[in-house]
């Protein structure tokens, strides 16, 4: 299926370099062309043979990963998978790397790195393959948050009547920057929003806090039993599933343990199916950039239950996987550029399925 993916591993840990090299080289579609213990040594090797994908640590000698990433995106944009320590303290730095243009995260603990990476080998291979397919034009555009200056004005009075309507969003690879682009232009009067972003545990709280500081709406990591409210976006905690439920006339979220679904926990399908069941035509579904098909079948269930459904279009996706599969299933009412999703959400929030022009 095409040529092999050339990978460069940049990490100051010899153990990490050795284990990651062994895991990736086992896949017939991947070839590790080199390793380096710091970015300066890496760039010397890369100039001799440029990789298709770079795996990059953050804390390294001579030059940190964030600085290197910034230079790389300016000089020769290349898909980057961040290999970051699984710590709360490092979460904000890792999110800065994603905002700067990295495609996704692979986590590693402080101890037992070798065993951890072996246990997570499937995720590592999948992340590299997703990065190799990344639309770097979309990655670069996503670093510049657009505005709704060219969108028609939104009727604020009408939005106040959508209290028990909600928007369910699912995304994966490239989704952190895409969500920032989308959520930062939504007004405080937006409908309640529930989100699954494929992300490891320990990172979603920092991600929510980062968005909360940038957005007019409130953004929080979801807690079990929390009510879905207008002007509030709830992000599923990493490592747990999030479902919609009803408490009387109100929508609440349930945060639960459980096995991975479509290899993910949280899973977009888990959220979307619960939204189809409990909200039906009072909901809107949005599927965004990401590899694989998680969320496609759940969005179809939402669509069949009367919800209005949107997909991010191919041109603006970092990886056009999840939206593509949803479109194939007939789950999508409209495919739109990332920059148009906010206006569509606001225009459609008061209607189960707005008439298209």
Condensed to tens digits (0 to 9), the pLDDT of residues 12-61 reads 889 889 888 999 999 999 999 999 999 999 999 999 999 999 999 888 88
Q: What 3-state DSSP class applies to 352?
A: coil
Tens digit of pLDDT for each residue in 218-272?
Answer: 999 999 999 999 999 999 999 999 999 998 878 999 999 999 999 899 999 999 9
Strands 250-256 and 241-247: antiparallel
Contact between 300 and 270 (Cβ < 8 Å):
no
For this structure, is 294 an active site residue? yes
pLDDT of 156 over the 50 cut: no
Q: What's the confidence (pLDDT) of residue 192?
A: 96
Q: Which of 38, 85, 104, 198 is catalytic?
A: 198
For this structure, is 198 an active site residue? yes
Q: What's the confidence (pLDDT) of residue 328?
A: 98
Q: Taking residues 184-191, what's their average pLDDT? A: 93
- Listed in order, the ranges of the chain carrying CATH 3.40.50.2300 are 5-132
> Is domain 5-132 in CATH 3.40.50.2300, yes or no?
yes
Give the long-range contacts of residues 18-24, CB within 8 A, separation 24 or more: 19/113, 19/114, 19/117, 19/118, 20/55, 20/83, 20/117, 20/124, 23/117, 23/118, 23/121, 23/124, 23/125, 24/124, 24/125, 24/128
- Listed in order, the ranges of the chain carrying CATH 3.40.50.180 are 156-348
Strands (E), 71-189: 80-85, 104-108, 166-171
Higher per-residue confidence, 79 vs 153: 79
Predicted confidence band at 310 (pLDDT cuts at 50, 70, 90)? very high
DSSP element (H, E) containing 69 = helix 65-75
pLDDT of 152 over the 50 cut: no
Q: Which of 294, 303, 333, 335 is catalytic?
A: 294
| pTM for this predicted structure | 0.86
Q: Which CATH architecture has domain 156-348?
A: 3-Layer(aba) Sandwich (3.40)
Q: Which of 84, 85, 172, 335 is catalytic?
A: 172
For this structure, is 172 an active site residue? yes
For the chain, the average pLDDT equals 87
pLDDT of 140 over the 50 cut: yes
CA 240 distance to own-chain centroid? 15
Predicted confidence band at 117 (pLDDT cuts at 50, 70, 90)? low
């Amino acid at each position: 299926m095409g040529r092999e993916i050339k990978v460069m591993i940049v990490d100051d840990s010899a153990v990490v370099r050795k284990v990651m090299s062994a895991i990736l080289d086992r896949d017939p579609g991947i070839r590790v062309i080199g390793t380096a213990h710091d970015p300066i040594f890496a760039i010397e090797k890369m100039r001799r043979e440029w990789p298709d994908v770079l795996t990059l640590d953050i804390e390294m000698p001579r030059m940190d990963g964030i600085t290197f990433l910034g230079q790389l995106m300016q000089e020769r944009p290349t898909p980057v998978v961040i290999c970051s320590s699984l710590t709360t303290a490092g979460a904000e730095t890792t999110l800065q790397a994603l905002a700067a243009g990295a495609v996704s995260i692979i986590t590693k603990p402080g101890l037992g790195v070798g065993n951890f990476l072996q246990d997570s080998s499937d995720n590592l291979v999948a992340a590299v393959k997703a990065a190799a397919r990344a639309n770097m034009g979309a990655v670069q555009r996503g670093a510049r948050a657009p505005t709704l200056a060219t969108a028609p004005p939104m009727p604020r009075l009408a939005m106040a009547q959508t209290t028990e309507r909600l928007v369910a969003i699912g995304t994966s690879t490239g989704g952190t920057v895409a969500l920032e682009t989308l959520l930062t232009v939504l007004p405080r009067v937006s409908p309640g929003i529930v989100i699954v972003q494929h992300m490891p545990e320990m990172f979603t709280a920092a991600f929510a806090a980062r968005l909360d500081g940038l957005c007019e709406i409130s953004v929080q990591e979801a807690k079990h039993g929390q009510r879905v409210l207008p002007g509030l976006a709830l992000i599923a905690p990493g490592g747990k599933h999030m479902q919609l439920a009803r408490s009387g006339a109100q929508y609440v979220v349930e945060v639960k343990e459980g096995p991975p679904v479509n290899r993910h926990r949280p899973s977009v399908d888990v959220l979307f199916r619960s939204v189809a069941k409990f909200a039906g035509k009072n909901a809107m579904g949005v599927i965004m950039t990401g590899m694989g098909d998680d969320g496609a079948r759940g969005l179809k269930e939402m669509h069949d239950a009367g919800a209005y459904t949107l997909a991010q279009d191919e041109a603006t996706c970092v990886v056009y996987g999840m939206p593509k599969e949803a479109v194939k299933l007939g789950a999508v009412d409209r495919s739109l550029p990332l920059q148009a999703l906010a206006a569509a959400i606001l225009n459609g929030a008061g209607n189960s399925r707005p008439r298209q022009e």
